[in-house]
Amino acid sequence: MARGCANRCGFCLASYLNLPLRSVPENDLFSAIDFGLEHTNKIAFLGAQVSAHPKFFDVCEYINKKISQGKNIEMHFSSLRIDAITPEVVKTLAAAGQKNITLAIEAGSERLRKTINKNITEEQIINAVKIVAENGLKGVKIYGMLGIPSETKDDIDSIIKLAKNLKKEFKNISFGFSTFVPKPHTPFQWCGREQTVNLEKKISYLQKEMHKSGIQVNLPSAKWDYWQAVLSRGDSSLTDFLIEVYKDGGNLGAFKKLAKKMNINSDYFALNNFDTKDKLPWDFIKISPGKDFLISEYNRLL
């Protein structure tokens, strides 16, 4: 439905790599839907922020009209913005056979959500879950992220408190978490990860508290995410290392063993906070808007 994302969360490569936001024209969408329905009853809408499409609600209405006329349609979204959840959208999803919905909030506190540029309130989150519960869907999955730059224990406690409040509104609710991985060409590319041992303590604490409240939660591997950060911010000095890791099976043990054997300073890539004046390995790749814009975003958010 669109490329790019108007919200520009500070960690999100899909937002910044594809600016400016460009939406498929409404008539082209309707034509694509009609063409697809000639061959299948399944429709999936793709985009970093499909609900930002200026005709998003018209598209939902278009689908709902076809369903009401007897057309068998299965419609799916990867995830939706909290502020896009309306009774009409949820009813359309339910009528189209979708049983669950995924909502991305990233952080439990409004302070931390503002830090990443996700400007949604707790009231909006609770209201969205109420709408889902009242309009035919069976389950809600909430996405969150641990280790966001400037995160404190209070932010973790805010996630737990929010989860308990949401559980009161809708019993069939679950949470899934990742840990922050700095990505090139984003404002947070200069931010290193937290130490793995600290993230594992947060994960353990979150698991324990969620379990107490009977809330299902899927938690990440901080160790694997550490190596993802190395791959994300690594440079050409890792070439031989990565070849050897691949030959040795590409598992966590191979990464650790060969980093030690080949004297690779992986912490530099994963944990180091870079200065905005530093020359970065990917600076030669030109994107628009460029590095000066990312620096201004970094300073604005952090």
Q: What is the pLDDT of residues 238-295, one digit of tens each?
A: 999 999 999 999 999 999 999 999 999 999 999 999 999 999 999 999 888 889 999 9
8 Å CB contact between 149 and 188? yes
The count of other CB atoms within 10 Å of the CB of residue 50 is 21
pTM above 0.95, yes or no: no
- For 88-140, the three-class secondary structure string (H helix, E strand, C coil) is HHHHHHHHCCCCEEEEEEECCCHHHHHHCCCCCCHHHHHHHHHHHHHCCCCEE
103-143 confidence digits (pLDDT tens): 888 998 999 999 999 889 999 999 999 999 999 889 999 99
89 or 189, which is more confident? 189
Domain boundaries, the chain: 1-98, 99-225+275-302
CATH code: domain 1-98 is 3.30.750.210
Q: Which CATH number fits domain 99-225+275-302: 1.10.340.30, 3.90.600.10, 3.40.50.20, 3.30.750.200?
A: 3.30.750.200
Instruction: Report the pLDDT value the prediction gives residue 194, as an integer from 0 to 100.
Output: 96
Query: What whole-number distance in Å separates Cα of residue 141 and Cα of residue 113?
Result: 18
Instruction: Report the pLDDT value the prediction gives residue 264, as an integer from 0 to 100.
Output: 97
Lowest mean pLDDT among 36-40, 51-55, 212-216: 51-55
Query: What's the mean pLDDT when you consider all of the chain?
Result: 92
CA-based nearest residue to 182, from 112, 229, 143: 229
Residue 78, pLDDT above cutoff 80: no
Structure token digits, residue 209:
């508290």
**Contacts of 19 by beta carbon, 8 Å cutoff, 6+ apart:** 4, 8, 288, 289
Residue 79, pLDDT above cutoff 80: no
Instruction: Report the pLDDT value the prediction gives residue 208, as an integer from 0 to 100.
Output: 96
Are the folds of 1-98 and 99-225+275-302 the same? yes
Cross-sheet strand order for the sheet of 139-146: 100-106, 139-146, 173-179, 216-218
